[in-house]
Structure 1
Amino acid sequence: MAEDLKIIEGSKVEIYLSLIPQIKGLLDGEPDLVANLANVAAALKEQFGWLWVGFYLVKPATAVDGDKELVLGPFQGPVACTRIKKGRGVCGASWQNAATLIVPDVEKFPGHIACSSLSRSEIVVPLIKNNEVVGVLDVDSELPDQFDETDKKFLEEIVAAIKC
């Protein structure tokens, strides 16, 4: 198991190509989901310095209506929203659509949930097991238009390496 993270500089592609094997090393042989999510969030935050990196997991809602909701899981960054309904905000929309969402300007996203007023752009990648979304990776940046198709490609690869 790799426990040291080698932070590199370079192009975004070079950074991901260095980081992904390291993340896979952290995940290799560790069956605990919470530990793995915590290490992935920490590795991404350390390498990129984004405002917020973390996971929300699909769990039964606290209300008696029997619905499910996203519940805050391991993360790095400022205090976050604890529960998100399906379809609400970027995370809820990613869950509902089972698709990665890139939001260049969170102020222009209908129904955006502002957990931090510092957030300017966001990417959310669903964690899928047996064709069902079981959680999402949520990444926020203080910079507008921070995320692109390169981030989408490599973050989806990282999420796919997590055994849910």
Structure 2
Amino acid sequence: MTLQELKPKIKNIIVQSQLTVDERLLKICEILETNINYYNWVGFYFKNGDKDELKLGPYVGEPTDHTIIPFGKGICGQVAVSNQNFVVPDVAAQDNYIACSITVKAEIVIPIFVNGENIGQIDIDSNTPDPFNEADERFLEFVCKEVSKLIS
């Protein structure tokens, strides 16, 4: 399934008001991980209250010990500070990288904004070297914009 073909499916999940926010976020993770072969771990991190840290939300993939990430630490923590997309073609080349699994070769993190404030992010790990391109960035920005409707 192409990224474009996934967009209406994401929109459909967002409007399923009979499900909790976390249930919808998990469905988004599942549909991305299932339909995009190089999305091997898909999850959400959100700002943890008033603390300068991120807390793991719904995800699919290998279990992770990284349930809390301080701002500035790792790729997710850097995005929490920079408010910018971060595409990592080769995690081994990153100094400030938190390894979740030895199989991970690349990562992409896109922030989620509500009323101009970075409230979280989608984090995707890939076991494929350098798989992410501009189409992934634009698609994941779309996903984050849809997710922001759940949080606002």
Match of 1:54 among 43, 51, 68: 43
Give the Å deviation of 1:67: 3.1
Per-residue CA shift, 1:42-67, capped at 9, x if unaligned?
A: 1101101322000011114xxxxx63
Match of 1:156 in 2: 141
Match of 1:111 in 2: 96
Q: Does 1:19 align with 2:3?
A: no
Give the Å deviation of 1:29: 4.2
Amino acid at match of 1:119: V
Structure 1, unaligned stretches of length 5 or more? Answer: 1-7, 9-14, 61-65
Secondary structure of 1:53's partner? strand
**Which aligned pairs between 1:82-161 and structure 2 lie closer than 5 A?**
82-161=67-146
Larger of the two Rg values belongs to structure: 1
Per-residue CA shift, 1:127-159, capped at 9, x if unaligned?
A: 111111111100000011011111001110111
Q: List 4+ stretches of structure 1 deviating above 6 A.
A: none
- State the distance in 2 between where 1:42 and 1:67 align: 28
- TM-score w.r.t. length of structure 2: 0.91
CA-based RMSD: 1.4
Aligned identity (percent) is: 34
- State the distance in 2 between where 1:37 and 1:99 align: 21
Per-residue CA shift, 1:3-39, capped at 9, x if unaligned?
A: xxxxx3xxxxxx0111010110111142732122111
Match of 2:28 in 1: 40
Give the Å deviation of 1:104: 0.2
Amino acid at match of 2:120: G
Higher RCO (Cα < 8 Å, 6 or more apart): 2
- State the distance in 2 between where 1:147 and 1:154 align: 11
Amino acid at match of 1:57: F
